[in-house]
Structure 1
Amino acid sequence: MSARARAHSTGRPPSKGSTGRQSPGRTRFIGILLILLSLISVVACCLTFALWLPNDRDHYDDYRAARACPAHPTARVRKNCLSTWHFAVVKTATENAGKTRRHEVTLKGEGSWRGVVDFEDTGPLFKRLKPGEQVTATVWRRDIVVLSRGGVRQDTSDAPRDALPIYAALGTLAGLVAVQACVYGVIRLARPRSYRLFAWFPYGGWMIAVILLSCLVAGITAMSTGIPWWIVPPAVPVMAGLVVWGLGLLLPLRRRRPTT
Structure 2
Amino acid sequence: MRIGATLLTLSLAPLLACVLVFTVWLPRDRDRYEAYGAAVPCAAGVPAAAWEDCLRTLPFTVDGTRNKPGRGSSYEATLSGAPFWNGTVAFGDPDPLLERLRPGDRVTGTVWRGDVVVLSRGDNRQSTSDEPRDEPQMTAAIGTFAGLLAALGFWLGAMRLTGAREHRTWAAYGKPLLLALLVACFGVGLPSVWLGLPWWLVPAVVVPVMVYTSWQLHRYRVASAAGAPEGA
With normalisation by structure 2, the TM-score equals 0.79
- How high is the sequence identity, in percent, across the aligned residues? 41
3-state SS in 2 of match to 1:160: coil
SS of 1:87's partner is: strand
Q: Is 1:120 the counterpart of 2:81 in the alignment? A: no
Paired residue type of 2:111: V
In the alignment, structure 1 segments of 5+ residues that lack a partner are 1-27
Aligned length: 223
Show the counterpart of 1:213: 183
Cα-to-partner distance string for 1:51-75 (whole Å, 9 max, x where unaligned): 2222222222222221211225599
Counterpart of 1:127, as a letter, is E
Provide the residue aligned with 2:25 in structure 1. Answer: 52
- Structure 2 counterparts to residues 40-79 of structure 1, below 5 A: 40-73=13-46, 79=52
1:223 matched to 2:193? The reply is: yes
**One-letter amino acid of the counterpart of residue 148, structure 1:** S
Give the drift of 1:201.
3.0
Deviation, structure 1 residue 31: 1.9
Alpha-carbon distance between aligned partners in 1 of 2:152 and 2:75, rounded to the nearest angstrom: 42
C-alpha change, 1:29 and 1:132, in structure 2 (3 Å) is closer
- Shift of the 101–187 alpha-carbon distance from structure 1 to 2, 3 Å rule, reads closer
Are 1:83 and 2:28 matched, yes or no? Answer: no
CA distance 1:38–1:114, change in 2 (3 Å): closer
Decide whether the 8 Å contact of 1:31 with 1:187 is kept in 2: yes
- Structure 1 residue 137: Cα displacement: 1.0
Greater share of helix: 1
Task: Report the CA distance shift for 1:144/1:175 in structure 2 as closer, same or farther (over 3 A).
Answer: same
Indicate if the aligned counterparts of 1:89 and 1:133 stay in contact, CA closer than 8 A: yes
Q: Secondary structure at the match of 2:27?
A: helix
What is residue 226 of structure 2 aligned with on the other side?
Answer: none
Specify whether residues 74 and 136 from structure 1 end up closer, same or farther in structure 2 by C-alpha distance, changes over 3 A only: closer
Secondary structure of 2:11's counterpart equals helix
Larger radius of gyration: 1
| Counterparts of 2:148 and 2:77, CA distance in 1 | 42
* Pair 1:212–1:133, CA change in 2 (3 A): closer
Q: Per-residue deviation at 1:81?
A: 0.8
1:238 deviates by: 3.0
Aligned equivalents of 2:5, 2:82: Cα separation in 1: 62
Amino acid at match of 2:41: A
The Cα of 1:134 is off from its aligned counterpart by 2.7
Structure 1: distance between partners of 2:123 and 2:77 = 18
Q: 8 Å contact 2:173–2:217 — kept in the other structure?
A: no
- Asked if the contact 2:66–2:76 (Cα under 8 Å) also holds between the matched residues in 1, the reply is yes
- Partner of 1:158: helix, strand, or coil? coil
- Structure 2: runs of 5+ lacking an equivalent: 224-228
The SS at the match of 1:80 is coil
1:80 shift after superposition: 0.8
Match of 1:155 in 2: 127
Per the alignment, do residues 169 and 93 of structure 1 end up closer, same or farther by CA in structure 2, a change over 3 Å counting? closer
Does residue 135 of structure 1 match 2:101? no
Change (3 A) 1:246 1:79: same
- Per-residue CA distance 1:10-60 (angstroms, 9 max, x = gap): xxxxxxxxxxxxxxxxxx222212221232232221122112222222222
CA contact (8 A) 1:68 1:82 kept: yes
Are the structure 2 counterparts of residues 256 and 59 from structure 1 closer, same or farther at C-alpha, using a change threshold of 3 Å? Answer: closer
What SS is found at the alignment partner of 1:229?
coil
